[in-house]
Amino acid sequence: MSRMRVRERFAVTVRGFGILKKYCPGLVRDKALYELINSLQPFVSVWFSARIIDEIILGRRVEVLAAYVAGIVLINFLGAVCKGILKRLGDEKEALMWCWFGKIFSDKQMSLDFEDLEDAGIRHQRQEAEENLYMFGNGLGQLVWGTAVLVRAGINLAASLFLTGTLFFSRSGNAAADSPLWVAAVLLCILAGGICNSRATIKENEIFMEWCKGTVWFNRTFMFFGKELYMNPERAKDVRIYEQSVLAKRELDKLIRRNRENQRDNFRMALFPGAASVVIGLANGACYLYVVIKAFFGAFGVGSIVQYVAALSRLGEGVQEFMYLLSDNEMYCLHLRKLFEYLDLPNRRYQGSLTVEKRDDIEYDIEFCDVSFRYPGADKDALSHVNLKFRIGEKLAVVGRNGSGKTTLIKLLCRLYDPTQGEIFLNGVEIRKYDYDEYIALFSVVFQDFKLFSFTLGQNVAAGVKYDRARARECLIKAGMGERLEEMPRGLDTCLYRDFGENGVEISGGEAQKTALARALYKDAPFMILDEPTAALDPVAEYEVYSKFNEIAGDRTAVYISHRLASCRFCDTVAVFDKGHLVQKGSHDELVLEEDGMYYQLWHAQAQYYTHRG
Ligand code: ADP
């Protein structure tokens, strides 16, 4: 386990509190206040009890006894009320804490550069921080719990020193009992108990930290082979047909083996605190002996014995907790540091600030100038030296074989990635110079692998909670979902999918694609990009989309990626890609005549497929 310097631990802890304050408001405060009252109350009771006993034995003054009894009752009553309220508030916030932690990760994920989302190293970094936090509370969770321990230790130390102060200075008249060596021996025993506890924590943490390194693997294997593979209805068909359960069993066996090994770790982890308990027991014994001997020789009365014995054992607990915290803090600081490394991942993408000119005539033109792009870690370009200009209002079809770079072109256009070389311009200005959110608002896109969400149909179309119902309905009808909408039990308010209840409706791949198209229409952006928008549609629905394509796209500039070359006839221009290069550009009628061109090949391959029946 790599060590951390005290200064860094302090800085990391302070930052941890900053994050807790922002994302979990009031949690640390309520927990700390509860612990303050909870730890203080026993000392107050002990002090009053000692006074009552002494008064009964010595003074027997009724009014003084009554005042002590009233005091203890009142303080305990107030303490119980405050503790009750603070416990409820703290527990409620602690239950919410896990959702609040989720927000930390979702905020960061949303702000990461898109290409970092696909980076395996960054994914692992996030999972390690997130899963350790959720499984064991490592890092932020421990900081919350550690704060309660810190308050308790602080109160235990301060209050027990306050209550035992007179013990160390009291005199019995017996030289042996009053010897300062006793004081030194008792304090040493208490310190030894604390040190043993701290060593035990360090050892325990070392084993635990080693074990935590496997958390991501453990979770991934368990979630995938133990749950996803069997639970996800989308995978169930393939799992059964290809008997994937055999493979799953083998992987799950590895988990069980690791769990058995874990038993050994658990035993080792228990061994150290066990050894520490022995020393702590001896330390407590020394404390009792000291108090009894002093009382025996008449240094103080019976009431004080109660006070000193209780306070000394609390002093021991305080020292142990404090030492434990010092060691434990290092462990959660290491986890916090890992979390911060992830949270501090920089945005490398250039952040422009130019406002996108809002044009009523939606006259925006786009130009790719010598654009090349290589995916991180890839050994060849996905796009190479592409020069392409879209005329305003143009319907551009992009065609090519699988892997020729069509989707990559769209990803660059939408700034999910920045080109490795070359530039893209919007109305003559390089697109990176625009404010990202404003720029992205210009595009309605239906990606090939689009996703709908388990919200209502209307919310899916509008991509929002409050929306224009008439417009959502109109877009669904335009996208060919009109009839299905009529059949939906609650119309636009029907929930899609069953993730959130039995009343959800499962829709087919084709219906989902139409809904995604309706969502793109609802956004009503000046650019419409459709990546294989008819792949999941039946021939009739596909024909409907083609024939209504001009109506759907309206006067927007539209980019249409399709394997169905027949659709290119609805477009003004066709751009043909091959192995990342733009190899041809022209109208369908022109390109279909160029016999040595790629488009001719593709067109005839497809025509053959449709005309020759096997
Ligand atoms: P198309 O849309 O024409 O089928 P793509 O643009 O999706 O092609 O892919 C172009 C090339 O880039 C392919 O060789 C593909 O394997 C590669 N590629 C696509 N996405 C990624 C990615 N996220 N990481 C690495 N390589 C990718």
614 has pLDDT over 50: no
Does residue 408 have its Cβ closer than 6 Å to ligand 1?
A: yes
Q: How confident is the model at residue 306 (pLDDT cuts 50, 70, 90)?
A: confident
Q: How far is ligand 1, taken at its centre, from the CA of residue 418, in Å?
A: 15
Q: How far is ligand 1, taken at its centre, from the CA of residue 379, in Å?
A: 12
Beta strands in 344-403 (DSSP E): 366-373, 383-390, 395-400
- Measuring CA to CA, how many Å separate 114 from each of 108, 356, 375, 399, 415? 12, 21, 12, 25, 9
pLDDT tens sequence across 566-587: 778 778 899 999 999 999 999 9
Lowest mean pLDDT among 246-260, 520-534, 535-549: 535-549
Does residue 403 have its Cβ closer than 6 Å to ligand 1?
A: yes
Whole-number CA gyration radius for the chain: 36
Whether 163 contacts 318, CB under 8 Å: no
Q: How far is ligand 1, taken at its centre, from the CA of residue 127, in Å?
A: 25
Mean pLDDT calculated for residue range 65-87: 95
Nearest of 290, 313, 291, 315 to residue 302 by alpha carbon: 291
Mean pLDDT calculated for residue range 401-406: 91
Whether 228 contacts 219, CB under 8 Å: no
Nearest of 201, 200, 198, 205 to residue 132 by alpha carbon: 205
Nearest of 383, 384, 403, 504 to residue 448 by alpha carbon: 403
Alpha-carbon distance of 135 to 213, in angstroms, equals 12
Give the percent of the chain with pLDDT over 70: 96
Whether 397 contacts 531, CB under 8 Å: no
Query: 369 versus 273: which is more confidently predicted?
Result: 369
Q: Which atom of ligand 1 is nearest the CA belonging to 408?
A: 6
Q: How confident is the model at residue 2 (pLDDT cuts 50, 70, 90)?
A: low
- Give Cβ neighbours of residue 122 (< 8 Å, ≥ 6 apart): 112, 116, 342, 345
pLDDT tens sequence across 173-220: 888 888 889 889 988 998 998 888 888 888 888 888 887 888 788 888
414 has pLDDT over 70: yes
Q: How far is ligand 1, taken at its centre, from the CA of residue 574, in Å?
A: 20
Whether 515 contacts 461, CB under 8 Å: yes
Q: Which atom of ligand 1 is nearest the CA belonging to 383?
A: 10
Mean pLDDT calculated for residue range 372-385: 93
What is the greatest pairwise CA distance in the chain? 119
Lowest mean pLDDT among 251-260, 401-410, 450-459, 503-512: 251-260
Burial of 237 by CB count in 10 Å (0-12 exposed, 13-18 middle, 19+ buried)? Answer: exposed
Amino acid at 408: T
Q: Which atom of ligand 1 is nearest the CA belonging to 411?
A: 6
Mean pLDDT calculated for residue range 381-391: 92
Q: How far is ligand 1, taken at its centre, from the CA of residue 610, in Å?
A: 28
pLDDT of residue 276: 84
Q: How far is ligand 1, taken at its centre, from the CA of residue 382, in Å?
A: 6
pLDDT tens sequence across 221-280: 888 887 777 777 777 777 777 777 777 788 888 888 877 777 777 777 778 888 888 888
Nearest of 309, 328, 320, 312 to residue 280 by alpha carbon: 320
Does residue 402 have its Cβ closer than 6 Å to ligand 1?
A: yes
Lowest mean pLDDT among 86-95, 109-118, 376-385: 109-118
- Residue written as token pair 């002996």: 289
Does residue 118 have its Cβ closer than 6 Å to ligand 1?
A: yes
360 has pLDDT over 80: no
Whether 497 contacts 454, CB under 8 Å: yes
Amino acid at 396: L
Where b means 16+ CB within 10 Å and e means fewer, 512-532 reads bbbbbbbbbbbbebbbbbbbb
Q: Which atom of ligand 1 is nearest the CA belonging to 448?
A: 2
Does residue 413 have its Cβ closer than 6 Å to ligand 1?
A: no
pLDDT of residue 25: 95
Q: How confident is the model at residue 44 (pLDDT cuts 50, 70, 90)?
A: very high
Return the H-helix or E-strand segment holding 498. Answer: none
pLDDT of residue 557: 86
Q: Which atom of ligand 1 is nearest the CA belonging to 531?
A: 2
Q: How far is ligand 1, taken at its centre, from the CA of residue 441, in Å?
A: 24
Does residue 147 have its Cβ closer than 6 Å to ligand 1?
A: no
Q: How far is ligand 1, taken at its centre, from the CA of residue 85, in Å?
A: 58
Query: 355 versus 9: which is more confidently predicted?
Result: 9
Q: How far is ligand 1, taken at its centre, from the CA of residue 216, in Å?
A: 28
Query: 457 versus 226: which is more confidently predicted?
Result: 457
347 has pLDDT over 90: no
SS3 content of the chain, % helix, strand, coil (to 5): 65, 10, 25
CB-CB neighbours of 208 under 10 Å: 17
Q: How confident is the model at residue 1 (pLDDT cuts 50, 70, 90)?
A: low
Mean pLDDT calculated for residue range 509-516: 89
- Measuring CA to CA, how many Å separate 476 from each of 462, 479, 502, 506, 559? 10, 5, 24, 17, 20
Does residue 405 have its Cβ closer than 6 Å to ligand 1?
A: yes
Does residue 400 have its Cβ closer than 6 Å to ligand 1?
A: yes
Q: How far is ligand 1, taken at its centre, from the CA of residue 578, in Å?
A: 12
Q: Looking at the chain, how many residues does it have? A: 614
51 has pLDDT over 50: yes
Q: DSSP assignment of 59-92, as one string?
A: T--HHHHHHHHHHHHHHHHHHHHHHHHHHHHHHH
| pLDDT averaged over every residue in the chain | 87
Query: 546 versus 586: which is more confidently predicted?
Result: 586
Burial of 47 by CB count in 10 Å (0-12 exposed, 13-18 middle, 19+ buried)? Answer: buried
Does residue 378 have its Cβ closer than 6 Å to ligand 1?
A: yes
Pocket test for ligand 1, best of 119, 375, 381, 406 (most atoms within 8 A of CB): 375
Does residue 263 have its Cβ closer than 6 Å to ligand 1?
A: no
Name residue 560's beta-bridge partners.
Answer: 397, 530
Q: Which atom of ligand 1 is nearest the CA belonging to 577?
A: 3
- Give Cβ neighbours of residue 319 (< 8 Å, ≥ 6 apart): 157, 190, 191, 193, 194
362 has pLDDT over 50: yes
Does residue 406 have its Cβ closer than 6 Å to ligand 1?
A: yes
pLDDT of residue 106: 94
613 has pLDDT over 60: no
pLDDT of residue 359: 60
Lowest mean pLDDT among 158-172, 183-197, 348-362, 544-558: 348-362
pLDDT of residue 72: 93
Give the SS3 label for residue 476: helix
Whether 517 contacts 552, CB under 8 Å: yes
Name residue 368's beta-bridge partners.
Answer: 388, 424
Lowest mean pLDDT among 344-353, 394-403, 542-551: 542-551
The residue contributing the CA closest to ligand 1 atom 25 is 375
Whether 174 contacts 302, CB under 8 Å: no
